[in-house]
Structure 1
């Protein structure tokens, strides 16, 4: 066995204890590496998804983390990106057990967004929509889910949220109306506020009158104060 093959076999055993031991390595010695590796990965995942963690008992959580370790070919070695790799596995390789909540994927994404914005190196532009402000829409009321609230059915209407990092580098959250969410998505895509507002008025059957634009201005002013959106520099 070449050195590279040996290293791959060693890594495979660490990820999946069912793999046979390598010749010359005792189970006790291997257990040290397996425990260290599992505890490190599990610690990063638990820290990134604290609400998700509370919804599982210890045996189910361990099975979930071990399945991720064994099955997911992570594309990045950086610890800060483990949460992104875990989310990618949930979206593509995760197999639910009978008692798993149906909202796992959306809750995990919602929790990941906070970490992603917290560590993002993106710069806030001098005008337009901030790259550190993400409008999000979920089937489940993810911002309310916890140990004492675990819905069995999604809401009739989507939960629309805005998550952003402010000027003090604090990640903040607000709930949006369907209209505000659609406006945020259009501004994020680079559309001008006037164009977006006229089109949304037509789409929602609203008169594009003084009252309509006064309300819209109040919303945009609020977003401007919070560093979410800046009007064009003339």
Structure 2
């Protein structure tokens, strides 16, 4: 009995996911199955539309619906949590090869806002006596340096570049004390410094020395700018300084 019920439920779920590729379960009216499909698919589409408003507007109603239908039919989510559903769509888009590259990157850019809004990261308290160069600056858990091939912060309906620009778009996303997520463009040095803070824990001077070596310049050439940048980001709460 249990095996029969399980088989019926699997048949029904496959049909609801992709009615074109899977036959309906026997003995269930097509009208009832359509109601179930509209219920499940409608809820899914509504939740994702709220997470990706710009992507949805850029694609238009038909392409957006086709995208979500394919996601619904073929992607197998690794989480049962509705709050993580947007991340599943991002994974699905990065795994597909056919959409233009800006689609996956724009989806990721929009998803980051949800990630930061829902984050429960707790940073250590900034030690006011610590110095950003001689002690240890660290990146807040509510800040993420990002880099995209496409200018995701400028893309919108009717504003899609025909090709990838030569220079990448570097962005800082962070949740401020106002509990809102903010995005700001980053210069190459600022992005490289924040990525360095994200990847390793050492003094600010060591971070700048490594960046100077990578760029083939003397540390003294970037140290003043690096110190000013670290202090400015510290004032925003993006960087926290700890006594070394």
Looking at structure 2, the residues matched to 56 and 138 of structure 1 have their Cα atoms a distance apart, in angstroms, of 19
TM-score, length-scaled by structure 1: 0.91
Looking at structure 1, the residues matched to 193 and 109 of structure 2 have their Cα atoms a distance apart, in angstroms, of 20
Q: Which runs of 5+ in 1 are unaligned?
A: none
Residue 14 of structure 1 is matched in structure 2 by: 16
Residue 39 of structure 1 is matched in structure 2 by: 42
Residue 27 of structure 1 is matched in structure 2 by: 30
Number of residue equivalences: 229
Query: Deviation at 1:95?
Result: 5.1
Tell me how large the CA RMSD over aligned residues is.
1.7
Other structure's SS at 2:219 match: coil
Other structure's SS at 2:211 match: helix
Change (3 A) 1:28 1:95: farther
Other structure's SS at 1:136 match: strand
Bigger relative contact order (CA 8 A; separation at least 6):
2
Superposed CA deviations along residues 196-228 of structure 1, whole A, max 9, x for unmatched, are: 11222233244433x743322221111111111
Residue 194 of structure 1 is matched in structure 2 by: 205
Superposed CA deviations along residues 124-143 of structure 1, whole A, max 9, x for unmatched, are: 23352111111111111110
Query: Deviation at 1:14?
Result: 1.3
Looking at structure 2, the residues matched to 168 and 191 of structure 1 have their Cα atoms a distance apart, in angstroms, of 29
Q: Which runs of 5+ in 2 are unaligned?
A: 127-137
TM-score, length-scaled by structure 2: 0.88
Superposed CA deviations along residues 4-61 of structure 1, whole A, max 9, x for unmatched, are: 2222111111111222221121111111110011111111111111111011232221
Other structure's SS at 2:120 match: coil
Assess if the C-alpha contact under 8 Å between 1:13 and 1:21 holds in 2.
yes
